[in-house]
Structure 1
């Protein structure tokens, strides 16, 4: 709730100034009128009617709420800020940010504009580009939405750009590098998505790069040439997997809560002589931790909590005397807590947290030492960065494969040996077979499946899934009523799918797959490891497996793959009118866009969320299911081992630009067919249906909005904004291009659909006469 006294004082002060001023020789009349218009647009009441003709406008005493600075007869600085961060005064329902900035643009010599916490809402107008003299622009803590406008790039003299705490969406534009003098770039707490453009690395004068609390992802560009960079704040995004390359002059590095999965470059960090704050918490950094960070000459704050860092710390480790905060919690550290971090040796101001490790000091809930040893063995060693030479890259692949799954290879080899012996007639008794299978499951749990646990924690959308594990055959028999025929929910030539429920109540689907012994142990190992990693919010994910020797054929083994079970029907049923089993209910337009975005995110993960990527998934709308919260999940993707002559189509890690291949674009075409059905609201069964509906869509899209609406599902005609509908139709047609080279990438598809969602939401609000800023669709 606003402080009525402070807000009233704020309004009174500003109104007193504006109504007590008349054009003097120190300000041009056009600029005086612009200030009066700003007063009206911001809804400031006229409380004072007596003018003080002697009040010198340009010598007005600055205040925390309102400051104007003049040079000669021009306004050069304008600062308006709500009192002490209080809730800003409400703007009128007919407020127009376009009109406001049209008046501000009259202040042609304005070098500094700061409008903070005053409740501005709406897209940033193109008229911002008229303020060509602008050097500092601060519009933080408002409700400004939409894309960052291109016209902002016209401000060639800009040195500080702060748009923190708004509702900007879209990607960070690559033209950001056009600001040659830019020193501060603040875009914290918005709804920006996509990668950080490489052009940022050309901002040679940049001192502060603050992108925290957005939806940004991908590799951080090489920032080594930014010799002036002091503050890097990227926390609460999805950047990764590698630690960013920075210049040693950096002072603050905040990478908290991202998707980093590499080792920490301690050798580089030891050269960061000015580093004061390092926060890499809530990631999946791996490998040994170096206590040399404690002794960096300027270090004051270190947070490495919630990672997979290993190593043994020594009692006599030294610490910088200025170190005031250390958090080592929830890693795999062993040994002794350094003496300089122990409470009895700390100054009162030093805070130290170290729980969730395996230190000999048992305070703060330490694990037993074997926990850190076993977990450390299970952490997959990440491959080094790819070299240009193919031979080096293959060496990396080989070494990481041997390191990560060597233990399982031995066990699967034993299973293979068992099959081989059975074929030669060396019969084994049932009890012996069970013993081998039990040993196989046990080792998988310790090694491979903890790898999967590590993967599941690092994948950006894989939360809320059960930990991947090995199942005992008896456990699956009990869950499926001994695999009775009544529990079968799907069947193929080489596999059956059974519905079941675990002892803890978890609903599962078990795919029983007969596997001939032509699968070598390394191949089988690779397939199982891949399956364990395919965990994502928009995939019906595998949560475990079980091995068994086939009693009827000595050359065949059986693998049971255990999946999460989804009971709310398919996306097709929710569009055709049987939503969650209730006839007559259908997804509305906003829900359909959200569903399409979910499918695109699932495809994006299959293509890029792991190496090698999963392609040629033969996607169909009937393979898109709904979970209990009605989020979409793809169940029909290309798992390995699901066909004797098939197997997973992927590409070697050394290939460049593998996402531009034809198999990836096959998935894009299939996604276009799904979009087509989402649009028309009726099943599209054959390829002929696809061609006919596509042709109609193509003709209609070239005409007006009425023609476009004539072919879409009648139940959503009144819900679609014209721009949103046209955007979805256009990306659908691009996905269905006959030439695979003309089809967009999955990143382009996802970006376009998110744009369509943004176009839809403000239209929906306006159509209900709601005069407030738009709110993004929950996806």
Structure 2
């Protein structure tokens, strides 16, 4: 299946004047040994593809191994797509490929191990009670992950849309620097194409409306998802909350009325205990809301997002701050819930992240 990968056809295209990332083919025996036979205690997380395990190679280096849950044509496609994307890209804010394994029906991808796991684990999961993300770290994570997506949208050739930007796909290294990960749903867009029409995949709460309803995906869909991520990062809240058994309220519908009333302090994550830079908080929240506008043509590009988050465009930010969308709290409160029916859930997944203490990361 992945013989094209072994032959280096993709890896040669990924160079483009840059040093080729180091990756290799692993044996199944080697990965069994590294992960203690994929022991449950080594499990880092679980998703639609399968499970991710911590491992340690013979030389002492740590790895993360994503293992296909059940072989199928669909899973095989996602495996191949992720390998092809990872072989093409190299950026300090994108997760790097260490290698892969393909033996029988076993499909495994080997990555760098990120010592601080995912952003999701610190906001909502195993590490959320530790309050380890101060405001400075959150700003660095916001800008770093945005720069990784800029590479996908504006520097990679062909362009790449991720299609599953969310907090569990933003991993954190030993210095809490962000690495965008998980390219199983990614799509390559030729220069001549404005969008791709595709089956909807992603996670509830992060999906752009035009993509969720029509299956039309382009860079602006990632921008929408990233806007949700910014609000999540600032507030510590999940992308959606249940109001009843059939109705959810999005983080957007919760935040917008507060912004219209200039109540930014009520948006800030209570775990910050007021220790944040007010101007930066306002910047993150307003940029996030600009990204999640219903009309894709009104959303900024990721290049714009990085510039705004860094405070490099004061005039433009002032224009955003005075935008009509932040002046009418009554209009903002009209859409206070999003009903989601079961017939859409075959393509769209809930956020179900399993975080394990991993021996309390004793090695770290």
Give the TM-score category using the shorter length.
0.5 to 0.7
Asked whether the 8 Å contact 2:256–2:289 carries over to 1, the reply is no
Give 1:469 shift. 1.6
1:610 to 1:676, Cα distance in 2 relative to 1, 3 A: same
2: CA distance between counterparts of 1:681 and 1:719? 13
Q: CA deviation at 1:668?
A: 1.2
CA distance in 1, matches of 2:154, 2:223: 14
Map of 1:746 onto structure 2: 302
Question: Counterpart in 2 of 1:497?
Answer: 52
Give distance in 2, aligned partners of 1:517 and 1:677: 34
> Which of 311, 325, 333 in structure 2 is aligned with 1:755?
311
1:649-694 alpha-carbon deviations (Å, 9 max, x no partner) = 3323433699xx8532221111111111222233343451324323
Cα–Cα, structure 1 residues 492 and 623, in superposed 2: closer, same or farther, change >3 Å? Answer: closer
Q: CA deviation at 1:508?
A: 1.2
The aligned residue for residue 536 of structure 1 is 91
CA separation of 1:539 and 1:755: change in aligned 2, threshold 3 A? same
Q: 1:652 aligned to 190, 199, 203, which one?
A: 190
Aligned residue number for residue 223 of structure 1: none
Correspondence for 2:158 among 599, 604, 612: 612
Q: Does 1:678 align with 2:216?
A: no
CA RMSD for the aligned pairs? 3.8
Partner SS, residue 670 of structure 1:
helix
CA distance in 1, matches of 2:301, 2:275: 31
Separation in structure 1 between the aligned mates of residue 130 and residue 73 of structure 2, nearest angstrom? 50
1:562 is the counterpart of 2:125: no
Residue 178 (structure 2) pairs with residue 632 (structure 1): yes
Partner residue, 1:697: 258
Name stretches of at least 5 consecutive residues in structure 1 with no aligned partner: 1-407, 413-442, 460-465, 551-557, 640-646, 702-706, 760-779
DSSP 3-state at the match of 1:650: strand
Q: How does 1:69-108 map to 2 (within 5 A)?
A: none
Larger CA Rg, structure 1 vs 2:
1
TM-aligned CA deviation for residue 561 of structure 1: 0.9
Partner of 2:274: 717
1:755 counterpart SS class: coil
Q: Distance in 2 between matches of 1:504 and 1:597?
A: 34
Partner of 1:371: none
Residues 538 and 634, structure 1, Cα contact 8 Å, conserved in 2: yes
TM-score of the two chains, using structure 1 as the length reference: 0.33
Structure 1 position 449, deviation (Å) = 7.9
User: What is the CA–CA distance in structure 1 between the aligned matches of 2:52 and 2:13, rounded to whole Å?
Assistant: 23
Quote the Cα distance in structure 2 between the aligned partners of 1:477 and 1:541: 21
Of structures 1 and 2, the one scoring higher in RCO (CA 8 A, sep 6+) is 2
* Distance (Å, rounded) in 1 between the aligned partners of 2:236 and 2:285: 13
* SS class of match (1:563): strand
Q: Deviations over 1:419-443 (max 9, x none)?
A: xxxxxxxxxxxxxxxxxxxxxxxx9
Are 2:19 and 1:471 equivalent residues in the alignment? no
- Equivalences for 1:248-259 in 2 at 5 Å? none
Aligned pairs (5 A) from 1:104-143? none
Q: CA deviation at 1:616?
A: 4.7
**How far apart are the structure 1 equivalents of 2:82 and 2:49?**
17
2: distance between equivalents of 1:663 and 1:616? 9
2:282 pairs with 1:737: no
**Structure 2 residue matching 1:482: 3-state secondary structure:** coil
**Which residue pairs with 1:422 in the alignment?**
none
Give distance in 2, aligned partners of 1:603 and 1:697.
Answer: 28
696, 707, 726: which one pairs with 2:282? 726
Shift of 1:486: 4.0
* Deviation per residue, 1:21-78 (Å, 9 max, x gap): xxxxxxxxxxxxxxxxxxxxxxxxxxxxxxxxxxxxxxxxxxxxxxxxxxxxxxxxxx
Q: Take 1:520 and 1:678, find their aligned partners in 2: how far apart are those partners?
A: 33
Gap change, CA 1:675 and 1:756, over 3 Å in 2: farther
Alpha carbons 2:122, 2:133 under 8 Å: kept? yes
Q: 1:669 aligns with which of 200, 224, 227?
A: 224
Q: Deviations over 1:584-627 (max 9, x none)?
A: 44433332211100110121122233223332522222332211
**Structure 2 vs 1, CA of residues 545 and 711 (structure 1 numbering), >3 Å: closer, same or farther?**
closer
Name the structure 2 match of 1:545.
100
Q: Give 1:538 shift.
A: 1.5
Cα distance in 1 for residues equivalent to 2:313 and 2:175: 19
- Corresponding pairs, count: 288
